[in-house]
Structure 1
Amino acid sequence: MAFTRTAGKHRRPTRAPRTTRSNANIAGIATLAASGVVAGFAAPALAATDDPRGFEDTGLRQAVAMDDQLAGQVEAQAESQQSAAEEAAAKAQAEAQARKDAARQAAETKRKAEAAAKKAKQEREAKERAAREAERKRLNTFVSPITGSYLSTGYQASSGLWSSGSHTGVDFHASSGTSVHSVGSGTVVEAGWGGAYGNNIVIKMNDGTYTQYGHLSSIGVSVGQTVTPGQQIGLSGATGNVTGPHLHFEARTSPDYGSDIDPVAYLRSHGVNI
C-alpha cells in the first residue's frame, strides 16, 4: 500500500530554528576567537547549516567585533599609560638633573665666594702687614729738625758766649717762626723755659737717648706727650742767650746738661744726611 506525504504542516522546515545563546556562551566564543581556536570551530558549524546564505547567524561576528573594539581600547589605554609613565619618568629625571645642577651651581658659587673671601683676607692682611712695616720704619727713622736748613755753628765750637767755653750742640740756621720737628720717635720730658736755652723742649727718644731743641719762639707739645719723626713740636726763635734767631739742637745720653754727644754724628748714625 502506498503512502503519500501530506503537503503543508507536516513538511520539514528548510531553516533550522535559531538557538538563543547566553552571554556566557558568547564570552566563551570570544575567548576562543582570541586564542585562534574559533576559526577551526566555527567553520564546521557554519558548514552544517542549511541557511540559504551559507551560514547561521550565531552572534560570533558581534562577539569578535566587540572583542576587537575592547582590545583596541585596552591597547590605547595601555599606550596612553605608558606614554604618561614615560613623560613622568622624563620629568622626574629632568627635575633630578635640575636639582643636581642647582646643587653643583650652589657649591661652585660657595667655593668662589670662599675663595674670594680668602683672597680678600690675604690681601687685607698683606696690606696691614705692609702698613705696620711702613709705620715701623717711619717710627724708626730720623729726620733733620729743620727741613732744608744748614749748620751755622758746629759742635764744640769755642766762644765766650757759652758758659762751658764750647758749644754743647749745633745751631741750625732758621728765621723766627720756622717749623721745628722732632728728629725721631719719643716722649716729651721737658717743655718750657730753660734759662740760657730760652724756651726749650727735651725729648727722650725710643732708643734711650735724648734730644734738645732751644731758643724757640713757641712750644707746641707738653710733658708726657709722644711724638713721631717729623712731627712739629714748636717754632724757632731767639729766646734765651742768643745773638739772633736760630735753632739750638743737642743730642744727650741723659736729660741733664753736660751729657751731650756729637749731634751731627748722632743724626748721621740714624740716616740723616747733614
Structure 2
Amino acid sequence: MQIDTTLAAVVTGGASGLGEATARALAAKGAKVAIFDMNADAGEAVAADIEGVFCKVDVSDEASVDAGFARARAAHGQERVLVNCAGIGTVGKLVKRDRETGAISHHPVDLYRKTIEINLVGTFICMAKAASGMMTLDPVGEHGERGAIVNTASVAAEDGQIGQVAYASSKAAVKGMTLPVARDLMGEGIRVNAILPGIFRTPMLAGLPEKAQAALAEAVPFPKRLGDPAEYASLVCFMVETGYFNGECVRLDGAIRMPPK
C-alpha cells in the first residue's frame, strides 16, 4: 500500500515516543494523520506540526474511541492505516514478601485490570473499529487491499521479567491475537502485523539517570545503544508499504533477550 497524500492514518499514543515518531514518519510521506492520545497539550502540538488532527481518546473506553474515529474521519475520510502505540508500563510481582516484616501481599488486581484494559482491550477496540470502517472502502491494487493495521507488543511478550506479570501478559496477548485477526480479515484485504520493540529511547526511559540508560544500552548485543523511535516508525512504514507482510510479529531489539531481572 502506497503512503501518499491520498492515505488517511490513525496513530494511537501519537503524542509521544514511538507513536509520535510514527505519526511524523507517515506525515512526512504525505499521509493525513490523526493522533489519538490522552495528553491534549502534546497531542495538539504534534498534530499542528504535521498538519494532522488531534483527538483526545481513552483507548480503553469504547465511546471515547468511537468519538475519536468520528472526528478523524470527518477531517480526513476513512483511514486505511491504523497503528496502535497507546499503552502503559506497570511494575509489580504476582506476590511479594516484605523483607523486614515477612508480610505477604499480591499484585493489586485493579492495576492488573488497568494494564490489560489499556494495552490489550484498547488495542482490540481500535482494531475492531478501524477494520469495520476499512471494510466499507473500495479495494485498491492488483490484490484488492483495503487497509493495514500495525500493533505494538513488546519483547516482554516473550522475555517477561520479574515484576512484569501485568505488562508482559498484556503484550503477549497483543502478539497472540495478531495471526487470528489477520486470518479474520484476510477475505477483506486488511493486513495485520505486530512489532515487538526492545529498549527504546522513549520519554519513559529518558527520565532515568544517564548511568541507568547507559547500563540498558550496554545490555543490547549490537548495536550497543537504545533504539531510536524513528527506527520503529521506519518498520511501521515498511509493513504498511509491503503487501506481502501479513500476520507477522517482528522483534526490533538489537538481538537482546531480556534476563529475569
TM-score of the superposed pair, with normalisation by structure 2: 0.18
Larger radius of gyration: 1
TM-score of the superposed pair, with normalisation by structure 1: 0.17
Q: RCO greater where, 1 or 2, for CA within 8 Å and sep 6 or more?
A: 2
